[in-house]
A and B are shown apart, each in its own frame.
Chain A
Amino acid sequence: GAVVSQHPSRVICKSGTSVKIECRSLDFQATTMFWYRQFPKQSLMLMATSNEGSKATYEQGVEKDKFLINHASLTLSTLTVTSAHPEDSSFYICSARVRERGLGARGYGYTFGSGTRLTVV
């Protein structure tokens, strides 16, 4: 099946530094990539939607200057957390829309990367 590879899986950084997270679609082209953030024992909150070759669409309350998203190719999307602070510590997950068997022409599921656990100290 469709696989999204996400790196790094864990990162610890100092406050004030920037961290880049990469998501690659390995065997398909992802024209759209979704970026989520998940705090411990909470649900996934959509941060932004990135479309290949265009600007990302950010959800309300998400600072686009702090969370830089680049989707320069059909197989790679990156999220950069700039000037990270301890409150940015979270689990960041990307996902891409993929066709699912048995769902028909409009049947899409979403395949997720394995996530990146960011700890800012």
Chain B
Amino acid sequence: GQQVMQIPQYQHVQEGEDFTTYCNSSTTLSNIQWYKQRPGGHPVFLIQLVKSGEVKKQKRLTFQFGEAKKNSSLHITATQTTDVGTYFCAGRSRDFGNEKLTFGTGTRLTIIP
């Protein structure tokens, strides 16, 4: 079945430094979504990328979808303590007519004040 891997698994950065997480799918994706999960919380939708090579920005967050639509990245500029959490990418696919999300393995970001 479809597998979605993320690297790194963990990232510790000083506040103010940049952060990047990479997402790789074993299959071509129709689109990819990104979620943030705070410790003890539930995933919160951040963004969806659909087009090959698409780049979207949300303030300090930059999301990119690869040309082959098999990989994606999330880059945070000048991290803040509020950025703490686990970032998941998720690929949408259809399996026998049923749509589902396959979540990546996640990257847990911790910030050193």
**Which residues of A does B touch, CB under 8 Å?**
32, 34, 36, 41-46, 49, 57, 60, 93, 95, 97, 100, 103, 106-115
Contacts and interface: CB of A to CB of B under 8 A. Distances in A.
Contact of A43 (B42, B48, B88, B100): B88
B56 to A, nearest CB: 10
B68 interface: no
A34 B48 contact: no
Given A103-B48, A109-B33, A109-B48, A34 B42 contact: no
A44 B42 CA distance: 10
Listed from nearest, the 8 A-B pairs whose CB atoms lie closest are: A109-B45, A112-B42, A44-B103, A43-B103, A115-B42, A112-B43, A43-B106, A43-B105
Interface of B is mostly: strand
A44 B102 CA distance: 8
Interface of B: 1, 33, 41-45, 48, 50, 88, 90, 98-106, 108
Contacts of A32: 99
A46 B48 contact: no
Nearest to B5: A43
Nearest to A103: B48
A34 B98 CA distance: 11
Contacts of B90: 110
A43 B98 CA distance: 21
12 contacts: A34-B101, A42-B106, A43-B105, A44-B88, A46-B100, A46-B101, A95-B101, A103-B48, A110-B33, A110-B45, A111-B45, A112-B42
A46 B91 CA distance: 12
Nearest to A2: B45
Contacts of B88: 43-44
Contact of B100 (A34, A42, A106, A109): A34
B18 to A, nearest CB: 24
A57 B48 CA distance: 25
